[in-house]
Amino acid sequence: MFQTKVKSEVLKEVVDIVGTLVDEAKFSVGKEGIALKAVDPAHVAMVDLSLDKGAFEEYKADECELGIDIDKLKEVLKLARAGDIIGIKHDEEKNKLILNVGNITRRMSLVDTAGLSDPKVPNLDLPAKISIKVDELKQGIRASESVSDHLALISSPDGFEMFSEGDTDSVNLKLSKDLLEKLDCKEKVRSLFPLDYFSNIVKVISTPTTVTLSLGSDYPVKLEFNFADEKGSVTYLLAPRIESE
């Protein structure tokens, strides 16, 4: 059984966070909330999301797995206005998801979960941890997009830097330690990432939010943040591009 009511804004955040990497996803439903792990088709990035039952207006559930087409959820959300409550119910007999928005009912076929990945989240102990306002990351991305398709993230005991270099121009955003929310870094580290992936991930993080970045040299970057009034948590992992000497 799965029957719930949720504000459209909360469901939209879930859809945006997941939909930036995958079109279909397996949601693990439990008595205390929902969880999801997914990897993009190119295996460059993964998302690990959990949403506590307290984020819902109503929540009744037994343990089950639901394979959901994210694009179909986006279509339903287009029907919702700000503040609308969306009703969601699993029709187990017909294996459909029934969604109610106002006076509209959408019956949605579910995706076979057997074909959906269930990735293991690697346990990375990364040497640098930076807490930063998402607005700063978004500004660094905007500055980089006209220069290159790669972005270097650099951390040192003194601060954090985003650096992008193209054929003719370069741009960097430098934030000293006192401009960051928090910095835990004992040595300089640097990794290079595909800008489009990093940009797509950061764009879905709502403002104002503090993001925690964990970095190493030529290691994946881990981005962690909360949403839905701290009742949801997200971890993204993005693989690095190894720089040629």
Is the alpha carbon torsion for 157, 159, 165, 168 positive or negative?
negative
Q: For 29-66, give one letter per residue: b (16+ CB within 10 A) or e.
A: beeebbbbbbbbeeebbbbbbbbbbebbeebebeeeeb
Confidence of residue 60 (pLDDT cuts 50, 70, 90): very high
Do 134 and 175 belong to one domain?
Answer: yes
Do 85 and 141 belong to one domain?
Answer: no
CATH number at residue 154: 3.70.10.10
**Structure pTM?**
0.94
Residue 25 lies in a domain: yes
Confidence of residue 245 (pLDDT cuts 50, 70, 90): very low
The pLDDT, as a whole number, for residue 243 is: 63
Residue 199 lies in a domain: yes
CATH number at residue 22: 3.10.150.10
Do 72 and 169 belong to one domain?
Answer: no
Lowest mean pLDDT among 3-12, 17-26, 108-117, 209-218: 108-117
Do 63 and 109 belong to one domain?
Answer: yes
Residue-range definition of the domain harbouring residue 58: 2-115
The pLDDT, as a whole number, for residue 82 is: 86
Lowest mean pLDDT among 66-70, 185-189, 203-207, 216-220: 203-207
Could you give the number of structural domains in the chain? Answer: 2
Q: What is the distance between the alpha carbons of residues 120 and 37, in angstroms, rounded to a whole number?
A: 8
Residue 232 lies in a domain: yes
Do 169 and 80 belong to one domain?
Answer: no
When pLDDT is averaged across residues 208-223 and rounded to a whole number, the result is: 96
Residue 97 lies in a domain: yes
The pLDDT, as a whole number, for residue 244 is: 55
Q: Model confidence over 70-91: pLDDT tens digits?
A: 999 999 999 999 889 999 999 9
The pLDDT, as a whole number, for residue 55 is: 97
Do 90 and 138 belong to one domain?
Answer: no
Do 145 and 171 belong to one domain?
Answer: yes
Q: Model confidence over 118-177: pLDDT tens digits?
A: 888 888 999 999 999 999 999 999 999 999 999 999 999 999 999 999 999 999 999 999
Residue 205 lies in a domain: yes
Q: Model confidence over 6-46: pLDDT tens digits?
A: 999 999 999 999 999 999 999 999 999 999 999 999 999 99
Do 166 and 76 belong to one domain?
Answer: no
The pLDDT, as a whole number, for residue 155 is: 98
Do 6 and 110 belong to one domain?
Answer: yes
